[in-house]
Amino acid sequence: MRFHISSHHTPNNCAVHRGDGTATVTDWRARCEEVGVEFVAGGGCNPMHMHFMFVEADNMEKLQTLMQPVIGYWDVVITPVRAA
């Protein structure tokens, strides 16, 4: 099943500026591969701290694992997408 993942964080919750030693994900395509999710497309607007991805996964647990590094710092919305 395909999903749209949108995420946003405040400048204060940006891993670049937090300085608390929390590792940031710099390559979402590689992160998807690592957890068994197919990365379809993605991008973002770094100055606005907004990101998005279209992915394909066979269950929600993989999506939770995918986003685990940013949960608690980012607002994440995962929406199922039907293929036309």
pLDDT at residue 18, rounded to an integer: 65
Residue 84 has a pLDDT of 66
The CATH class of the 2-81 domain is alpha beta
pTM: 0.85
Report in angstroms the alpha-carbon separations of 36 from 3, 30, 42, 62.
Answer: 14, 10, 16, 7
Helices 28-35 and 60-67: crossing angle, nearest 10°? Answer: 140
pLDDT tens-digit series, residues 17-68: 666 666 678 899 999 999 999 999 999 888 888 999 999 999 999 999 999 9
21 backbone dihedrals φ, ψ, rounded to 5°: 85, 0
**Per the structure block, which two tokens stand in for 67?**
């986003």
The ranges assigned to domains in the chain are 2-81
| DSSP character at residue 70 | G
